[in-house]
Every structure is written in C-alpha cells, then in structure tokens.
Amino acid sequence: MTKVTPRPTTDFLRPDRDRHLSESNPFEEMMSRLKRAAELLKLEPGLFKILSHCEKQITVSIPVLMDNGEVEVFTGYRVLHNTSRGPAKGGIRFDMQVNIDEVKALAAWMTWKCAVVNIPFGGAKGGVICDPAKLSMGELERLTRRYTAGIINTLGPDSDVPAPDVNTNERVMAWVMDTYSMHMRHTVTAVVTGKPVEMGGSLGRREATGRGCMIVTRQALAHLGMQMQGATVAVQGFGNVGSVTAQLLHREGCKIVAIGDRVGSFHDPKGIDVDAAIAHVQKHKSLEGFTQGKAISSEELLAMDVDVLVPAALENVITGANAGSIRAKIICEGANGPTTAEADGILDEKGVFVIPDILANAGGVTVSYFEWVQDRGGYFWTEEVVNQRLEQIMVNSFRDVLELAKQHKVNMRTAAYMLSISRVANVHRLRGVYA
C-alpha cells in the first residue's frame, strides 16, 4: 500500500495569495485580519481554511428593459460567506465600484459582525454594478426585481436574508420582498430586513446603524476619560449611516465640525447644523450646494484635528498613504472596511483608538435581527423596546471586545476578530464537517 505523507498543517496556507496582493483589495484586507486573529487564537489550520472561503458565490446577468426601449444587461452578485451560526445576513449594494472581491469581503465581514454581537446569523452580501443615480424609478424597480429573481434560490427567511446597503433603501427592500413573495405565492415578510414599517419593517431600523455608532463612540469616549459634551466630530459620508450618526452624536452634546459626501465636504468650527444638512440632502439628494461652513477636500476632512472621526462612506479611505496624517483621537468605523491593514499599524503607533467596523456598525444588523424576529413572531415592538435592546447589545459587545483587547494586549480590531472567529469556529467544532 502506498504510504501517504500528510501535508504540513502547522501554517496557514493561502493558495489565493498570488491573486490578491493589493492594499486596496477588500478581501485581502479581511484575510490579513483573519490570519492575525487566527494565529493569536491558535486556530486549527483546517478551520482557518474553512473560514477563508466563501460558501457560495452567485453571479447573475440582469437584463433590464430601459425607458428608451433598449435592453441593458447588468451584472449582480450574491455571496454567502458562512452560515454555520444561522441564515446568511447581509445587505445589497448598487454601485459602479461593486466587484466580486468587494462582495466577498463584505460577506465575510457580515459573518464576523453577527458573531461579535452574538446574533444567530451567518454572513452574506450582494451587489449590482450600476449607477442608480442614472436610473429612473421604473428601471431601478425592474433591475431590483430581476436581480431578486436571479438569486431567488438562495433567498429565504431560513437561508439568506438581505438588507439595504450603499444606494439601496426601504423602497428597494419592498421590491425584493414583493418579488420573493410573488414567487412563493404568499407574503413572506421575513425574507428581507430594512423594509418599510408598514409592511413588516421594524421601528428604529433606519436609524439603527447610526445609533449603534453613537453608542460605541460614547463608550469609547468614556473609556478614554473624555467628555461627550463638546467633543468634536468629523463625518465622512452623509447617507443613512453618516447622517444619523452625526444627528445622534449632536443630540448627545457633540459638536459636528465637518461633514462630507461624494460631491463635497464642509467645515465649520462653530458646528454644522446637522438637521439643516439632512434637510438639504433630502431635497437635493447630496450635499451639493450646501452653504454652511467652508468647503474642504475629502482628505482635509479625514485629517481634521477632532476628537472623533467617523468614516461612513466606502472602504479603503484610510490607507498606508494617509494614515500618518490622521489627527483624530477616536475613529468610529461607520462604513465597512474604511481602514486598510497597513493603516492599522500606523494608527496603532499614533495611539488612535479605532472602534472597528464589525463592532461599530453592527447596530444595523442587530435591529435587522430584531425585525426578522418580529416578522417571524408576527408581534411588533415599540421603538423604545428596540432601542433599549440595541443599546444593551452594543454596550455589552463593546465591553466584551475591550476586555479581550486588554487581556491579549491587542487593539480593538484584533480583539473583535478574535471574539467573532472563536464563536464561529466553536460552532464548526460542534457541528463537525459534513461528509
């Protein structure tokens, strides 16, 4: 009989390493954090291999009849990273920057995020390469419905539950829910979260991610012995997450000195009128034409001398190239993946306290979980109950991550990865490998 020499399993092998080397590749960014936490946890190499791979990747072509009578074909993705702890959960993004590595990274971040706040979901993400600003309402609806039909086999309250993300909202979720329900021949509210409240959405869901950011920022300020009252804040990205974070931090006494979106950034040392800025965006769809404060560049906003910087736009905005110029004391990552692994090291050296994305913006998925629970139970909670339960989960999760960070003398990001990876890995150990 031929003797089989076992392959060495002491090191974490990265067969994909030669394909993902760029600092700006979000999947590579996710992998480098996973690898570091796995080493500290002394994770079994087999489990590392499982967690390094996405369970399922779906690519669909989406033909859409445009208003001018022409047919356009868009590309969409849905990626399920890990479903060991429960149904896959993750948003749908409509953006020209969408690509498969970004969707894979975002799906994996969802796995870690759900585990950090200990809710019974796995991680998924979806995206369509399109510019929704150039689509009419009818085109957007047809695109959403055809994309939903394309990925319908994975969707379901027990298997894969989408939510809004960049450039998608309650309106889009309502179409996803309706399309799925039409195929199932009955109304299935729990197939998506972030829906309008009238059709099974949860009170407090729209504000949940920003509320979570506010709560963890408050915890971080307290931990560092800083006051919330008068703390200065700069917010990059003024959509759902950025605007609500700014609004709630302002209500808690912080001074929002700078805000910015994809068209412009504004600085006012006396404090931006956040409600006026929100009203402006509601009317004009962006901060274009906003008149308060001095117009500054996106880079100037990131480098502002503030107590708290909230990147709440897209990934890779704080990189090896600009991390040295960051002057904020705290970074609350409202966006997913705003900081690269190279920037992490620089921020650590500078003593910046980073509340990592998988903790900072987990308020959204937490209330999505509440929405899913309410839909399945057919019994709806008051906004106070939603906010109270969210507060409890965010405060406890911040405390758990901080404790682990102190215990292992690592930063908050590494601690958050260690906490979530150990939770996911433990379920894999209990379940075993299905043969």
**Residues found near ligand NAD in the complex (CB under 6 A):** 164-167, 209, 236-242, 260-262, 286, 298, 312-314, 334-336, 361, 364
Query: Which residue's Cβ has the minimum distance to ligand NAD?
Result: 239
Nearer to ligand NAD, 340 or 361 (CB): 361
Strand 71-82's sheet: what is its strand order?
56-65, 71-82, 122-128, 88-94, 160-164
Smallest gap from Cβ 344 to ligand NAD, in A, equals: 17
Give the largest CA-CA distance in the chain. Answer: 80
Distance of CA 424 to the CA centre of its chain: 18
Determine the Cα–Cα distance for residues 404 and 32; give it in Å rounded to an integer.
19
Would residue 49 show up in a list of annotated catalytic residues for this protein? no
Smallest gap from Cβ 334 to ligand NAD, in A, equals: 5
Smallest gap from Cβ 230 to ligand NAD, in A, equals: 26
Nearer to ligand NAD, 166 or 421 (CB): 166
Nearer to ligand NAD, 316 or 425 (CB): 316
Spatial neighbors of 324 by CB under 8 A, at least 6 apart, are 346, 350
Smallest gap from Cβ 312 to ligand NAD, in A, equals: 5
What separation in angstroms does the CA of 233 have from each of 219, 230, 241, 341?
15, 9, 14, 24
Nearer to ligand NAD, 39 or 131 (CB): 131
Determine the Cα–Cα distance for residues 17 and 32; give it in Å rounded to an integer.
11
Q: Cβ(72)–Cβ(66) under 8 Å?
A: yes
Q: Cβ(335)–Cβ(311) under 8 Å?
A: yes
Smallest gap from Cβ 322 to ligand NAD, in A, equals: 13
Nearer to ligand NAD, 95 or 307 (CB): 95
φ/ψ of 198, rounded to 5, equals -60, -25
Spatial neighbors of 184 by CB under 8 A, at least 6 apart, are none
Which member of 104, 125, 195, 255 is catalytic? 125
Q: Return the active site residues.
A: 125
